[in-house]
Amino acid sequence: MAGRCLPWLSVFGMGCVEAQPADSSVPTVVFESEAAAWRAGGPDDDPLAAHRPVDDGCPSGSWSVEGEVLEVESGPCHYAWFLQPLSSALAAGDVLRFDLWHTGLDAPELGEAHAALLVGPKLVWEGTAPIPDEPRLWSAEVILDEPVPHGEFIGLHLHNHGDNVWKLGPVVVLSAP
The residues facing 143 across adjacent strands are 95
Distance separating alpha carbons of residues 167 and 158, to the nearest angstrom: 10
> What was the pLDDT predicted at 20?
46
Domain containing 158: what range? 30-174
CA triplet 150, 27, 19: central angle to 5 degrees?
Answer: 100
Give domain status of residue 19, yes or no: no
Using pLDDT thresholds of 50, 70 and 90, give the confidence band for residue 108.
confident
| CATH code for the domain in which residue 46 is found | 2.60.120.260
Give domain status of residue 154, yes or no: yes
- The string over 1-20, giving b where at least 16 C-beta atoms fall within 10 Å of a residue's C-beta and e elsewhere, is eeeeebebbeeeeeeeeeee
> What was the pLDDT predicted at 107?
84
CA–CA distance from 167 to each of 75, 100, 146 (Å)? 14, 6, 27
Determine contact, residues 171/117, Cβ cutoff 8 Å: yes
Give domain status of residue 21, yes or no: no
Distance separating alpha carbons of residues 39 and 156, to the nearest angstrom: 10
Contacts of 177 (CB under 8 A, 6+ apart): 27, 93
Give domain status of residue 6, yes or no: no
pLDDT for 93-106, tens place per residue?
999 999 999 999 98
Number of domains in the chain: 1
**Residue 124 falls in which region: left (phi positive, over 0), alpha (psi -120 to 50) or beta:** alpha
Give domain status of residue 89, yes or no: yes
> What was the pLDDT predicted at 56?
61
| 147 upstream amide cis, omega within 30 of 0 | no
> What was the pLDDT predicted at 25?
67
Give domain status of residue 24, yes or no: no
Distance separating alpha carbons of residues 143 and 5, to the nearest angstrom: 24
Give domain status of residue 15, yes or no: no
- Top pLDDT among 45 and 15 is at 45
